[in-house]
Copies of this chain bind each other. A is one copy, B any other.
Amino acid sequence: MLEEKRFVQGNEACVEGALYAGLDFFAGYPITPSTEIAEHLSYRLPQRAGKFIQMEDEIASMSAIIGASLTGAKVMTATSGPGFSLMQEALGYAVMAEIPCVLVNVQRGGPSTGLPTHASQGDVMQARWGTHGDHSIIVLTASNVQDVFRVTVEAFNLSETYRTPVVLLFDEVVGHTRERLFLPKPGEIPLVERLKTNVPPDVNYHPYLPREDGRLPMSDFGGVHRYNVTGLYHDMWGFPSEDPQTVHDLLRHLVDKIEEYTDNICMYKEYYLDDAECVLISYGSPARSARYLVESRRLHGEALGLLELQTLWPFPAHVVREKCRNASYVIVVEMNMGQVLKSVKEAVDRPERVFLANRIDGVFITYKDIGNTLRVVQGKGV
């Protein structure tokens, strides 16, 4: 029975998801509230001959997983606010060199050291724009232990499919809450393995020549193909180049390979949206409060609905527009000053109907808080 059912924290569910996805190598540095991920992995990975290392800091952690990934390993690191900020340079390197890897950021109160042990979702925009230069990136989130497992597996699949870093943006509540986790059987969730080149040993292999579909078959370091990897703009050989056409094409490739596949990357859940007059849009733990409100109000016949986003970037604008089309108002529920609110306003037809229900004091937002905002929005005051 213990086999398929577990009672775990979100952070441990993330560990189980990573192991299910085939994690080989983890490098990290402790930081609240993500530390349990490193702790569990230091125990679990060597059991299956996987490698765990605690590096000297987050920069080193991110650097180490980049190196390991190039040898063919599935890799991950985990951190929170301050550490995530420190990883931004290396994150950009992984984007430029197209290195599959997964970064977990269990958010805490920011800016700076902020509120290490409290709930917040203040890193949504940073996850998209934190490193210098134009780029694109995939960011996923979840609201309960089961979904944490699920999106973690998906993060590895997407990072392999698109050869890109994927950020898992959880929050303190999801990371620390213990609840039931059903472990899927092996094979129950399909896994994406790394796309390897089939170029024979003595034929020229072009590591950075994208296929029609934008994908790049890889060859492991230590394998038969020797090539160069760099954070500079580079040609199909991976050799530095400043040729304008080469530069233009590479940057377009880096962005298009993700943005053009937004539909395939987009994950979300919906509750009672069909006839919803008021659409709540939320993600992470606040979506649980939103769902509680929706379900209890439905009992009194109020036409509330919930759109729970699991893919934050690339932002699923078309889905949001669709789901909000018939809503007389939309309330974005998040624990920050309205970071997803911005994207929602951009996406919908009538931005003036979009409102924000939020908390920024480190206290988990409750269904009562959302209810209060709803009342105000309905013109009934507090």
A residues within 8 Å of B by Cβ? 59, 81-82, 84-86, 88-89, 92-93, 95-97, 107, 109-118, 120, 122-123, 125-126, 128-135, 230-233, 242, 244-245, 247-248, 251-252, 254-255, 336-337, 339, 342, 345-346, 360-363
For A107, list chain B residues within 8 Å (CB): 132
State the CA gap A277–B14 with chains docked (Å). Answer: 55
Known: A82-B89, A110-B135, A346-B346. 15 other contacts (CB 8 A): A81-B133, A85-B131, A86-B88, A93-B113, A110-B131, A111-B254, A113-B231, A114-B132, A114-B231, A114-B233, A116-B232, A120-B133, A244-B361, A248-B361, A251-B361
Report the separation of the CA atoms of residues A339 and B133 in the bound assembly, to the nearest whole angstrom: 10
B96 engages A92 (CB within 8 Å): no
| Cβ contacts under 8 Å, A125 to chain B | 128-129
The CA-CA distance from A362 to B120 in the complex, in Å, is: 38
- Report the Cα distance A233→B92, complex, angstroms: 29
Name the residue of chain B whose CB is nearest to the CB of A230: B113
Q: Mind listing 15 A-B residue pairs with CB under 8 Å?
A: A59-B86, A82-B92, A84-B132, A85-B88, A86-B86, A95-B112, A96-B113, A110-B135, A111-B231, A126-B129, A128-B129, A233-B362, A244-B362, A247-B360, A247-B361
CB nearest neighbor in B for A114? B133
A365 to B: closest C-beta gap in Å:
12
Among residues of B, the one whose C-beta sits closest to the C-beta of A335 is B134
Give the nearest-CB partner of A115 in chain B.
Answer: B233
A111 near B131: Cβ-Cβ < 8 Å: yes
A345 to chain B: closest residue by CB: B346
Contacting pair A132 B247 (CB below 8 A): no
Are B130's CB and A129's CB within 8 A? yes
Looking at the assembled complex, report how far the CB atom of A334 sits from the nearest CB atom of chain B, in whole angstroms: 11
| A111/B135 contact (C-beta < 8 A), A247-B362, A360-B247 known | yes
